[in-house]
Structure 1
Amino acid sequence: MFRRSFAGLLCALALVALSAVTPSAAHADNPIVQTVYTADPAPLVYNGRVYLYTGHDEDNSTWFTMKEWRVYSSSDMVNWTDHGSPMSLTTFSWAKSDAWAGQVVARNGKFYWYVPVTNRATGRMAIGVGVATSPTGPFTDALGHPLAENGEIDPTVFIDDNGQAYLYWGNPNLWYVRLNTDMISYSGSVTQIPLTTSGFGTRTGDASRPTLYEEGPWVYKRNGLYYNVFAAKCCSEFIGYSTATGPTGPWTYRGTVMPTQGSSFTNHPGVIDFNGGSYFFYHNGALPGGGGFTRSVAVEKFTYNSDGTIPTITMTTGGAPQSGTLNPYVRQEAETIAWSSGVETERAADGGMNVGYLDNGDYIKVKGVAFGTGATSFSARVASAASGGRIELRLGSPTGTLAGTCTVPATGGWQTWTTVSCPVSGATGTRDLYLRFTGGSGYLFNIDWWQFAGTSMR
């Protein structure tokens, strides 16, 4: 897995070509996920959280080798909870390969995940639909066959104010169809959107592709204006966008959202409004070993211009600012992470997730923890088939002020859980918390969740 190949490198990570001044990895929050390679971000705002659906580039890939999709969520845009993989190629019995870029929308109390995969029977790319009753899944095949198939990729779905839903997709062309309210069937025919230079910009040097449109459309509506943000040109790609007064056009090209940058020859947009701010998701090749086939999802906050146009957005290592704080006095899943070094997540025996494969010196950063007037104790659910170790509670950095140390015993198994507690001092105000794992050689223990207690439990 990812950390097996790069253990120890994240602590000294240098994110090349992202900014003129590169902060230390301990303070970076982009890319969002450091435990695996992620690509093709598709954010969804639901019930006060952002759910981020991604693809998963396999380690050491030399092609778009992708077998599953993953989901993460956050209430503050910096601390992201790993929910694992709720859908994979095996979800679709008719799919052969290529778990590529998709999107999830919520409707009718269900969640619909539209994805492109290679149809085993035809050998062509087709659009499948997964369905779930929870944003974190598990997802099942809604149809047992493709929803649409014309050999093209990258579906995006938009539901207009009048309730009409549209599915768009395509590379090298751009298509749409009107979905029925059941979200798994459509009315009318699949329609091709004219790719004109006025609508999608002018590409030079490629007579077969006269416009800038390449792939990865992301369609949404804001203040009565329809936006189509897409990966442009190739290769390397940048992100451009067009606008229209209706959901099917005619489109007018508006310019560049994100210039070519970021150590990956592809990019993929996702745009949302959340808690009064606007956010742009993308991917790059910023993690160790990263590149065009081993990508990582990141996010930036931005502000629309007064006329509704999108400003030019540049990749950073800092990422989006925190929206709110994290409450340490309620149970927090250990796989809620702003930044990490050396750790992995895995499916726990109870069906949830835990953090594991911890070596001496590995750590998790949790950002903006609101301790108030002070925490007095810390508890964690842990398991160890080895000799255990210690959880150091550090403030501000992996070597910052030591607020407490919890000893983790051997429990007899990696999924044999016990709760440990220890006293805490000096954890006041709002601070970045680092859980630093120490002990002997080899894997130390697993951690499922943690929680503080204190004089001002909120």
Structure 2
Amino acid sequence: MNTSQKKQAFNPYLPLDTYVPDGEPHVFGDRLYVFGSHDKEGGDKYCMLDYEGFSAPLDNLADWRSEGIIYRASQDPTHSEKYSYLYAPDVVQGNDGRYYLYYALSYQSFTGPIHVAVCDTPAGSYEYYGEVRYPDGRTFDRGITFDPGLLNDNGNIYLYYGWAISAPQMRHKTKEELEQIRPTIRQVELSMFEKTEEQLARETDGLQGANVVRLADDMLTVIEGPKRIAPGQVDAAGTPFEGHAFFEASSIRKIGDTYYFIYSSEVCHELCYATSQYPDRDFHYRGVIVSNGDIGYHGIDEEHRLAVTGNDHGSIACVNGQWYIFYHRHTNKTCFSRQGCAEKITILPDGTIPQVEMTSCGLNDGPLAPAGSYPAPIACNLTNDHLPDKIDRETPIAYITCDRGERIIKDISDSFRVGYKYFAFDGPVTLGVVVRGKARGILEIATEDGIIGRLDIAPSENWKTLTAPIAANGTKGLYLTYHGDGAFDMKEFFFA
């Protein structure tokens, strides 16, 4: 990769061997920090690794730096086989100037209490501080204590959290139909969340949904709430949230006088938002910000998703006047190897955020340059127009993975399209691809304007380079579609 290429930002924005999903972006000082959970490459469970911090200077969002391991699960005194892994965190600056890391441990149990660690700097490392608690010192246990999101609103500390069942078979049921299955849902709540009948009776708004509490200056003690701000699937029928009910991934931002609650909806692949003029009530559903399959963007439906979909989690941040949405994608043909991505968004004068598409350029200051080499896994589209819902290990599909120490796109077969958005084309250029495999066919090269070149794909056990002259002008996507027999892998592509 040439020198100029090093200054560009791609998706995913962290190194290809790094899996930090559930990203909460925050500007602290002159750097943008992302706090997320930490998946293992090719892992078989969520969040198997300890928290690793990352940050970038505000004037160069391509220059990410690892802050190292900022907190370990073993530092929590309740860490055990039952509560093994650090799930999605958030960080907020307290009124004392220190930085507080909120998280929940999980694995064999759905989720434990919300815990807190503290540090004098956002970069860590953090030390265990305590559990969120009632004023009498008892562990706070209202609702489902999962996915904390924090806001320091002019000295008032708000903690948002919650979870809800997301079942496709319940998605289109009426309010009356949902009422009929409430006894079954209650039994699920008793067993899945280890609640007692007494605890469920205290949940006057129901157990499932998004909640908010206000904390004391000690950052641990609940002094107000909980209050329900968004319904889960079982309570959303007949409300503006119907079809986009709260699932998980609570996050909160204040823009001007408006509070933006960002969350993952019942369909899992999308990040939605609701707004209010208050931090703890009257939130109204507004729309979808991003889908990790581009579902809903310009009419794309679930059948024609542009990438394999799965859960999503993230939030928004403003850097030098530009707003971004951070989210994650799924790789390695598993739900457990997720990578952070980001896109530019626009907040319109009426406060709405139009849905944006997934791109390869993400945090870059404009489209990528058609020069130098790029790793194949920065593809933002990888589809044959009939991908399975979520991850299906049995279905033969192209996917991003690590093979013999190299990050590649594996098993590109007939009709699969590999898409990269966007490049600033300026006339003729030579495109090269580095491939291997047992395929024999044609790789069509196209932009939105149509086919601009072709490459012959033939069997090869070793990596080989294929080149073709192409020509395009303006900001365009680059789409590589295979037609033929067998399957091949792709390691990189380049322009010369």
TM-score range (shorter-chain normalised) is 0.5 to 0.7
- 1:328-407 residue pairs with structure 2 within 5 A? none
Q: What residue number does 2:359 align with?
A: 316
Aligned to 1:157, which of 150, 158, 161? 150
**Cα displacement (A) at 1:252:** 0.8
Do 2:98 and 2:120's aligned partners in 1 also have CA atoms closer than 8 Å? yes
Do 2:160 and 2:212's aligned partners in 1 also have CA atoms closer than 8 Å? yes
Aligned to 2:63, which of 62, 66, 79? 79
Q: What residue number does 2:265 align with?
A: 232
Do 1:263 and 1:291's aligned partners in 2 also have CA atoms closer than 8 Å? no
Q: What residue number does 1:177 align with?
A: 213
Aligned to 1:281, which of 314, 326, 337? 326
Q: Structure 2 length normalisation: TM-score? A: 0.55
Task: Sort the Cα spacing of 1:341 and 1:87 in 2 relative to 1 into closer, same or farther, 3 A.
Answer: farther
Do 2:275 and 2:284's aligned partners in 1 also have CA atoms closer than 8 Å? yes
**Cα displacement (A) at 1:118:** 3.4
**Cα displacement (A) at 1:292:** 1.9
Q: Aligned letter for 1:55?
A: S
Q: What residue number does 2:289 align with?
A: 257
Do 1:199 and 1:252's aligned partners in 2 also have CA atoms closer than 8 Å? no
Q: What residue number does 1:40 align with?
A: 22
Root-mean-square deviation (CA), in Å?
3.5
Q: Aligned letter for 2:272?
A: G
Looking at both structures, which has the greater relative contact order when contacts are Cα pairs under 8 Å and sequence separation is at least 6?
A: 1
Which stretch has the larger CA shift, 111-120 or 179-188? 111-120
Give the secondary-structure state (helix, strand or coil) at the position aligned to 1:66. coil
Q: What residue number does 2:178 align with?
A: none
The 2-side partners of 1:168 and 1:282 are apart by: 18
The 2-side partners of 1:133 and 1:119 are apart by: 29
The 2-side partners of 1:64 and 1:361 are apart by: 22
Q: What residue number does 2:460 align with?
A: none
**Cα displacement (A) at 1:212:** 1.6
Aligned to 2:11, which of 7, 17, 30? 30
CA deviation profile, 1:344-400 (whole Å, cap 9, x unmatched): xxxxxxxxxxxxxxx9999xxxxxxxxxxxxxxxxxxxxxxxxxxxxxxxxxx9xxx
Task: Sort the Cα spacing of 1:301 and 1:198 in 2 relative to 1 into closer, same or farther, 3 A.
Answer: farther
**Cα displacement (A) at 1:224:** 0.8
Q: What residue number does 2:97 align with?
A: 109
Q: Aligned letter for 1:303?
A: T
Q: What residue number does 1:447 align with?
A: none
Task: Sort the Cα spacing of 1:167 and 1:199 in 2 relative to 1 into closer, same or farther, 3 A.
Answer: farther
Q: What residue number does 1:268 align with?
A: 313
Task: Sort the Cα spacing of 1:202 and 1:82 in 2 relative to 1 into closer, same or farther, 3 A.
Answer: same
The 2-side partners of 1:360 and 1:260 are apart by: 26
CA deviation profile, 1:174-204 (whole Å, cap 9, x unmatched): 121101122222213433335255766113x
Q: What residue number does 2:459 align with?
A: none
The 2-side partners of 1:276 and 1:145 are apart by: 34
CA deviation profile, 1:52-108 (whole Å, cap 9, x unmatched): 112111122223142311111111222100112110211202122131111011122
Give the secondary-structure state (helix, strand or coil) at the position aligned to 1:39. coil
The 1-side partners of 2:272 and 2:329 are apart by: 16
CA deviation profile, 1:281-321 (whole Å, cap 9, x unmatched): 00002x5x264210000111222112111111111111112
The 2-side partners of 1:99 and 1:268 are apart by: 15
Q: Structure 1 length normalisation: TM-score? A: 0.59
- 1:119-268 residue pairs with structure 2 within 5 A? 124-143=111-130, 148-150=140-142, 151-160=144-153, 162-172=154-164, 173-193=209-229, 195=231, 196=236, 201-203=241-243, 212-234=245-267, 236-261=268-293, 262-268=307-313
Task: Sort the Cα spacing of 1:200 and 1:88 in 2 relative to 1 into closer, same or farther, 3 A.
Answer: farther
Do 1:93 and 1:144's aligned partners in 2 also have CA atoms closer than 8 Å? no
Give the secondary-structure state (helix, strand or coil) at the position aligned to 1:90. helix
Q: What residue number does 2:487 align with?
A: none
Give the secondary-structure state (helix, strand or coil) at the position aligned to 1:193. strand
The 1-side partners of 2:61 and 2:345 are apart by: 13
The 2-side partners of 1:127 and 1:361 are apart by: 38
Do 1:119 and 1:125's aligned partners in 2 also have CA atoms closer than 8 Å? no
Q: Kindly report structure 1 stretches of 4+ aligned residues shifted beyond 4 Å.
A: 24-28, 144-147, 196-200, 339-342, 359-362
Which stretch has the larger CA shift, 101-110 or 140-149? 140-149
Do 1:240 and 1:255's aligned partners in 2 also have CA atoms closer than 8 Å? yes
Task: Sort the Cα spacing of 1:259 and 1:198 in 2 relative to 1 into closer, same or farther, 3 A.
Answer: farther
Unaligned ranges ≥5, structure 1 = 1-10, 12-23, 204-210, 324-338, 343-358, 363-396, 398-458
The 2-side partners of 1:38 and 1:131 are apart by: 20
Do 1:129 and 1:143's aligned partners in 2 also have CA atoms closer than 8 Å? yes
Identical residues among aligned pairs (%): 24
Give the secondary-structure state (helix, strand or coil) at the position aligned to 1:40. coil
**Cα displacement (A) at 1:264:** 4.0
The 2-side partners of 1:218 and 1:61 are apart by: 26
The 1-side partners of 2:21 and 2:325 are apart by: 14
The 2-side partners of 1:27 and 1:48 are apart by: 19
Task: Sort the Cα spacing of 1:290 and 1:73 in 2 relative to 1 into closer, same or farther, 3 A.
Answer: farther
Unaligned ranges ≥5, structure 2 = 134-138, 165-208, 294-306, 367-373, 378-403, 408-431, 433-496
Do 2:87 and 2:106's aligned partners in 1 also have CA atoms closer than 8 Å? no
Q: Aligned letter for 1:180?
A: A
What count of residue pairs does the alignment treat as equivalent? Answer: 301
Do 1:301 and 1:319's aligned partners in 2 also have CA atoms closer than 8 Å? yes
More helix by share: 2
Q: Aligned letter for 1:29?
A: F
